[in-house]
Amino acid sequence: MDALLISTMIVALAEMGDKTQLLALVLAARFQKPWPIVAGILIATVANHALAGAVGVWITQWLGPDMLRWVLGLSFIAMALWMLVPDKLDDAGIKEHPGWGVLLTTTVAFFLAEMGDKTQVATVMLAAQYQAFVWVVIGTTLGMLLANAPVVWLGHKLVRRVPLRLVHGISAAIFAVLGGLALLAPVLGV
């Protein structure tokens, strides 16, 4: 249950102001069809985070426990620092592909935008940390939907009211704590 709850919380916070959330806003403004956009975000996120989770599980089998602890600890701390860097999105090339429709356009655009993104990297690390592939993928997908679905329906009104700097600071603090706990696990007896 920890894997599900922490994955959901971390990704929902990490997604605030992220380039994929900005993409959701652009898609909503451009197409004004919320249901296929949210469905495309769901499909793309499940596919992307399943791949990321699989990499996380593979890493745990490839690295020994001590090396894994160091890699995860330092990666969580690096993610904490990365959270403090705001994302930008160039939306010039986002348009409905002829014959694809809004659903497929959203799915492809969102899947590609998520490649190498903070939330994808977080999914790899969370899957490695918790070794609970299914719960991490469900949690990170739920976190993405919690952050992006309201943006699709409420758009600019919602984004302007959320203090992104504070949200990024909280996300960075959570990642830093997870990194510290991973590095200090032997000392703390965890």
Cα angle value 162/167/172 (rounded, 5°) = 165
Cα 59 to Cα 2: distance, rounded to the nearest angstrom: 20
Rounded to an integer, the average pLDDT of 102-117 is 91
Q: Strands, E, within the chain: which ranges?
A: none
Rounded to an integer, the average pLDDT of 151-168 is 70
Give the per-residue pLDDT at 136.
97
Cα 123 to Cα 185: distance, rounded to the nearest angstrom: 21
Give the per-residue pLDDT at 156.
62
Give the per-residue pLDDT at 88.
61
Cβ-contact 7, 131 below 8 angstroms: no
Which structure tokens are listed for 103?
Answer: 């659903």
Q: In Å, how far are 9, 26, 73 from 160, measured between CA atoms?
A: 21, 14, 33
Give the per-residue pLDDT at 184.
86
* pTM for this entry: 0.79
